[in-house]
């Protein structure tokens, strides 16, 4: 049994030459809005990290951060039971972001301290070797 040997050819797309050559204005606006949204998200993340670092510094100095953190919340204790699931999830996402910012601040501090420690070790080794060099000259 033989099948017909007809091959389907692709249908050419019908586009206007002007639209293919020049992207439409909506495309530029959408890209611009996406870029602005991305920048705003980055700025927001950086601000949250700064807040977490400041809270961590306050905690290190024995100052309670709960009052300042409570003042950042937009709802009072009366409104808390009326929160729906979406708002609750947003609160947890916000807490998660703050914890991630605090973790990033701690990681940065650990890296700084490791570098400082490595520098001090190098200075100690350098001074120890120079003392041995001086003592072996005599």
Query: 3-state SS of 31-61?
Result: HHHHHHHHHHHHHHHHHHHHHHHHHHHHHHC
Mean per-residue pLDDT, 57-73: 60
In a domain, 53, yes or no: yes
In a domain, 81, yes or no: no
* Distances in whole angstroms, Cα of residue 138 to Cα of each of 127, 133, 135: 18, 9, 6
* pLDDT for 51 beyond 70: yes
In a domain, 73, yes or no: no
In a domain, 1, yes or no: no
Phi/psi at 65 (nearest 5 deg)? -95, -5
Give Cα 12 to chain centroid, integer Å. 45
For residue 31, the enclosing domain spans 27-66+88-137
pLDDT of residue 133: 58
The residues, ordered by sequence, that sit 6+ positions from 106 with a Cβ below 8 Å of its Cβ are 56
Count of structural domains within the chain: 1
Give Cα 83 to chain centroid, integer Å. 27
In a domain, 43, yes or no: yes
What pTM was estimated for this model as a whole? Answer: 0.34
Mean per-residue pLDDT, 89-95: 81
In a domain, 78, yes or no: no
Mean per-residue pLDDT, 53-57: 77
How far from each other are the two terminal CA atoms of the chain, in whole angstroms?
104
């Amino acid at each position: 049994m033989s099948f017909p040997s007809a091959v389907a050819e692709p249908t050419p797309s019908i586009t206007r030459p002007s639209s293919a050559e020049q992207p439409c204005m909506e495309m530029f606006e959408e890209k611009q809005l996406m870029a602005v949204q991305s920048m705003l998200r980055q700025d927001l993340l950086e601000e949250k990290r700064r807040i977490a670092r400041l809270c961590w510094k306050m905690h290190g100095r024995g100052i309670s951060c709960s009052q300042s953190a409570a003042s950042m919340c937009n709802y009072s204790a009366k409104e808390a039971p009326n929160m729906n699931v979406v708002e609750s999830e947003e609160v947890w996402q916000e807490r998660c972001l703050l914890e991630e910012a605090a973790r990033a601040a701690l990681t940065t501090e650990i890296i700084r301290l490791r570098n400082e420690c490595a520098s001090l070790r190098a200075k100690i080794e350098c001074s120890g070797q120079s003392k041995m060099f001086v003592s072996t000259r005599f």
